[in-house]
Amino acid sequence: MFALLKNRNYLLFWASQVISQLGDGITRIAITYLVATLSKDPLAIGFVIFAQLLPTAVFGIFLGPIADRYSRKWLMIGSDLYRMVIVLFMIGYHDSVPVLIGLIVLQGFGSAIFEPARSASIPEIVGENNIHNAISLSQGTRAAMDLIGPSIGALLLLLNNYNVIFLLDAFTFLVSALLLVGLNLINSSSRGSQTVQESYLSSITSGIKQVVKMPALRFLLLLLIPVTLVVGILNTNLVAVLTNVFEVSASQFGLLEASFAIGALVGSLGVGPLFLKKFRPSSLLISGTVAIGAWMIVILFVNDMRLTFGIAPVFVWCIIVGILNTLINVPLSSLFLGATPAPFRGRGSSLLGATANSCQMIGILGGGMIAKSIGVLNGTALSGALLILVVIIYPFLKGYKELNSIKPPTKDNDLSTPRKVEIAVD
């Protein structure tokens, strides 16, 4: 996996991710804690996540063709610089929840362009046979930065210095953009003339048709709906559980956020790749989804254990949530990216993101309402139980057979040099 870093292109790509996500981790904990403390309403906490997802959910499909028509390198650079400017505006409004949420929405438009370009670039850089390794390393890197970033953010929260937090995040976007300048990616014209010759609206339609008509991809989108609905509920309720039910301090909140990252790091770099060698990605995806549903139910027992053993059981629960998340994210991303034809990867990634974010937004709103009616603990457990009931029927559906036929690569090919890959498009 780490041999990928011998590829100069991937090294720049990876370094950009490291520095950018470090700043994001620092800022995320500051924004989440600010809103959680300024407003005790779980719905208000949910609106922060809602604001992050809104641009991709609503406009992602319309922005996706950009990554298939124009230079992905310069799209990523421009998105980084745009997000840097937005973060700088946050300095003067860190005490205003409505303005802060509005700026998060604006920042999300940059991410809605950046992420499809970034995702679609991975096979270009590492080759088709190394997609699983690249996804695992990317997930592990994100987890590491989610560990380091919140830890730094927690320290800065103790100093009550929000200006430094936002300045650091803006600086990381700048450094990320400078690193991407050295990236060498093929031009959009070499991805196939079909996308360039089509009108913009026609390219949106053809991208959706291409993804939906493939049974494996269609099944993945179907599976994504209940999973991301529950993820939205979990994201909303979990912050409320930690801040309002468990009443953790600022430093404990930062450490608990870091514990999720510890679990994700272990899952991405250890458990996930190990399981992908032993199980099909489709089987790992289904079993990981069922496991995280069951683990959400365990939160009820964690609350009782907390009264006896203190905060330690909460840390254990959070670490295992992080591990189980990777058993969903790594096979899901690998399967979707590997099964999507190369000329449609930008639009495919946008459709995946739009579906996931739309369902998360519904889950966020539903999670807030459930929390108000039956409490955040019961709401979290109920959501996990419903996820299990829905997902256990998926292996019996028609599309699962096609999905199950996709295997991880049996060996790494040339890790240091990206290969030219040609995929036939029906």
Q: Per residue, what are the HEC states of 67-125?
A: HHHCCHHHHHHHHHHHHHHHHHHHHHHCCCHHHHHHHHHHHHHHHHHHHHHHHHHHHHH
Q: How high is the pLDDT of residue 241?
A: 80
At 423, list the tokens.
Answer: 């995929």
Please, which pLDDT band fits residue 46 given cuts at 50, 70 and 90?
low
CATH for 2-185+199-404? 1.20.1250.20
Gap between the Cα atoms of 318 and 324, Å rounded: 10
Residues 47-86: pLDDT tens digits?
777 787 788 877 777 777 787 777 888 888 999 999 999 9
Gap between the Cα atoms of 81 and 11, Å rounded: 20
- When pLDDT is averaged across residues 386-398 and rounded to a whole number, the result is 83
State yes or no: pLDDT of 425 exceeds 60.
no
Gap between the Cα atoms of 157 and 187, Å rounded: 43
Please, which pLDDT band fits residue 194 given cuts at 50, 70 and 90?
very low
CB 229 within 8 A of CB 384: no
Please, which pLDDT band fits residue 174 given cuts at 50, 70 and 90?
very high
State yes or no: pLDDT of 417 exceeds 50.
no
The string of DSSP letters for 204-255 reads HHHHHHHHHTSHHHHHHHHHHHHHHHHHHHHHHHHHHIIIIIS---HHHHHH
Please, which pLDDT band fits residue 418 given cuts at 50, 70 and 90?
very low
Gap between the Cα atoms of 18 and 27, Å rounded: 15
Q: How high is the pLDDT of residue 197?
A: 60
Give the least confident one: 89-93, 147-151, 314-318, 418-422. 418-422
State yes or no: pLDDT of 375 exceeds 50.
yes
Provide the 10 A C-beta neighbour count for residue 159: 9
Gap between the Cα atoms of 37 and 245, Å rounded: 13
DSSP state of 267: I
Residues 323-365: pLDDT tens digits?
888 788 777 777 777 677 767 777 777 777 788 778 877 877 7
Does this model's pTM top 0.85? My answer is no
SS3 of residue 411 by DSSP = coil
Please, which pLDDT band fits residue 308 given cuts at 50, 70 and 90?
confident
- When pLDDT is averaged across residues 207-211 and rounded to a whole number, the result is 75
- When pLDDT is averaged across residues 222-241 and rounded to a whole number, the result is 78
Domain-wise residue ranges, the chain: 2-185+199-404
Please, which pLDDT band fits residue 414 given cuts at 50, 70 and 90?
very low
State yes or no: pLDDT of 186 exceeds 60.
no
Q: Over the chain, what is the mean pLDDT? A: 76
- When pLDDT is averaged across residues 243-254 and rounded to a whole number, the result is 74
